Amino acid sequence: MDQHRLSPFGSPTSAPYQRMAALFDAINTSTRDIPPPRLRAAVEQLSLGLSRSRSSMVLKDYLASPLSQAAYCVHFLPWNVYRLCLAWQSSPMQNLGPERALHDWGAGPMTGLIALWVQTGLEGSNTLASYTAVERQRDILDMGESLAGMLGIDKLVTIHSHPHALSFDEEPSQEKADILLVSQSFNEWLPPRGRSTEPIRAFAKHARAHVKTDGELFLMEPASRVVSWGVMELRNMLAESATILAPCTHAASCPLLDPRLKSWCHFRRRIVPHPLHGKLRGALPPEREAVSYSYLHARFTPPEHTKEQRFALARVISEPFSIEDGRGVYGCSAQGRILMATRSRRWSQPLIDALAPDSVASYPRQGKHPRDKKSRALKIWLSDCRKPDGSRYGAPAPAKKDNPS
Cα 170 to Cα 147: distance, rounded to the nearest angstrom:
30
* Host domain of residue 111: 15-299
Q: Which of 251, 278, 299 is the last residue of a domain?
A: 299
If asked whether residues 207 and 349 sit together in one domain, one would say no
- Quick one: pLDDT at residue 47? 82
Residues 232 and 362 in one domain: no
Per-residue pLDDT at 284: 83
H or E stretch including 86? helix 66-90
pLDDT digits (tens, 9 = 90+) for 245-303: 999 998 888 888 777 666 778 899 999 999 999 899 888 887 778 899 999 999 999 87
Cα 384 from chain centroid (whole Å): 29
Query: Both 184 and 79 in a single domain?
Result: yes
Where is the domain boundary, 274, 299, 324? Answer: 299
Prior bond to 247 cis, omega within 30? yes
Number of domains in the chain: 2
Helix (H) / strand (E) element for 175: namely none
Mean pLDDT of the chain: 87
Determine contact, residues 391/357, Cβ cutoff 8 Å.
no
Confidence class of residue 147 from pLDDT cuts 50, 70 and 90? very high
Q: Give the global pTM.
A: 0.89
Instruction: Look up residue 30 and give its amino acid.
Output: S
pLDDT at residue 7 in the model: 86
* Residue 244 is assigned to a structural domain of this protein: yes
What is the structure's pLDDT at 401? Answer: 53
Report the alpha-carbon distance of residue 330 to residue 313 in Å, rounded.
Answer: 13
Answer yes or no: do 94 and 183 share one domain.
yes
Q: Tell me which of 299, 331, 348 is where a domain ends.
A: 299
